[in-house]
Amino acid sequence: MEIFTNKWAATVASIWIQCSGTTYTFSLYSSVIKSTQGYNQSTLDTVAAFLDIGGDIGVLSGLLYSAVASKHSPPSGTQLGRPWIVHLAGAVQSFVGYFFTWAAVAGVIPRPPVPAMCLFIFLAAHAQTFFNTANVVCGIQNFPYHGGTIVGIMKVYFWLLFVAMVCGMGTGVATINNMSQMGQSLGYKTKEINSLVALLSIWNFLGRLGGGYLSDLLLHERRWGRPLLMAITQATMGIGHIIIASGFSGNLYFGSFLVGICFGSQWSLMPIITSEIFGVLHMATIFNTITVASPIGSYIFSVRIIGYIYDKEAIGEENNHCFGIHCFRLSFLIMAFVAFLGCAVALILFFRTKRFYQLVVLRRLDYSLR
């Protein structure tokens, strides 16, 4: 039975679980939802916003994790409890949400109203927060001094981190959700669009892995706080948005590479920064509270900016489709500005926490390595 409690076995299991029910493949089937349900771009982006709301508002999963961890922990308090309960709750939601979404698209059930489709998508995505909470918190507590590689609300640190995440995660998710529509507008073939979506998922993964490793390296070797890397990646993401807005041949390949890498890095940097600044005792709840920034940003940039501008440009066009770089150029220039704003906020967080990292985080790290 020792293998089942081994931290490395838990890490491998977490990786497999993270591969299931991902919300980042939405662009692969969003066009089918749009055509079968008769949606315009704003309506589709509204559905996508509920995908992001469900996928990032994980307060319930955090509370459930804290409850089962506290209830089932041994008297010594050294174990995390039973994360399988959190995984089971997520698995049920994932099945229900994706099943009814498939049934609506396949015509098995009558065409549901938009709020019902939003609910189906919300449930499917909300399951991911339960998987994320159990996997991330277990990983960080299993590897407390290499949390970046494995992956206090009233304080100004919280709000700086929150605003930076609205800028970075919000613009990144908006790009991911609209990749299929951008490809169609620029005349990409279906095979090319599917390749773009698949590559974007790969860049996202590499960003999560590389961002955590690089932040560990900078912290251990250069003694630089992790918010500095967050600022660098958000500035790079802004460059990616500008490349997409430029419209030159192959721009989506280059732009999505930068956006995907930098977006993924936010998801490895944010949890470990949260644990370092606020501690791991209530990290599950604080972590999932900060992730609310992602759906807020997604709604603003996907629905109120990209969807609104796209539909305005598509007026008079057949089937509410817009063709040409003008459909998205202004939206991505706006998001580039927001990403640079997020870089500035992350830099402020870096300088404000510089002394904290020197006095607390680095001392704790030095002590652990003795």
With contact defined as beta carbons under 8 Å apart, do 299 and 179 qualify? no
Supply the pLDDT for residue 224: 87
Tokens of 83: 């994360």
What is the pLDDT, as a whole number, of residue 328?
94
Q: Tokens 């993964």 label which residue?
A: 205
| Cα–Cα distance measured from residue 171 to residue 299, given in angstroms and rounded to the nearest whole number | 10
* CA distance linking residue 170 with residue 177, whole number of Å: 11
Q: Which residues contact residue 244 at a Cβ distance below 8 angstroms, ignoring those fewer than 6 apart?
A: 175, 182, 251, 252, 255, 256, 259, 328, 332
Handedness of CA 151, 60, 24, 306 (dihedral sign): negative
What is the rounded CA–CA span in Å between residue 138 and residue 68? 13
pLDDT for 5 equals 54
Task: Give the pLDDT score at 74.
Answer: 47
User: Any idea what DSSP says for residue 145?
Assistant: T
Classify the C-alpha dihedral 228-345-361-136 as positive or negative.
negative
**What's residue 355's pLDDT?**
81
- Rounded Cα distance, 131 and 56, in Å: 11
What is the pLDDT at residue 350? 92
- What are the pLDDT tens digits along the chain (370 aa)? 444 457 777 777 777 777 665 667 787 788 889 889 988 888 888 898 898 888 877 778 878 887 876 655 544 444 445 678 888 999 899 999 999 999 999 999 999 999 999 999 999 999 888 888 888 777 767 766 555 444 444 457 888 999 999 999 999 999 998 998 899 899 999 899 989 988 998 999 899 989 989 998 888 888 888 999 999 999 999 999 999 999 888 899 999 999 999 999 999 999 888 888 877 766 777 787 888 888 899 889 988 899 899 988 888 777 778 899 999 999 999 999 999 999 999 999 999 888 878 776 666 666 555 5
Pair 222, 309: CB distance under 8 Å:
no
Burial environment of residue 35 by CB neighbours within 10 A (0 to 12, 13 to 18, 19 or more): exposed
CATH topology for 2-368 is Growth Hormone; Chain: A; (1.20.1250)
Domain-wise residue ranges, the chain: 2-368
- Residue 106, classified by CB atoms within 10 Å of its CB into exposed (0-12), middle (13-18) or buried (19+), is exposed
**Residue 254 has what pLDDT?**
96
Question: Which 8-state DSSP code applies to residue 110?
Answer: P
pLDDT at 242: 97
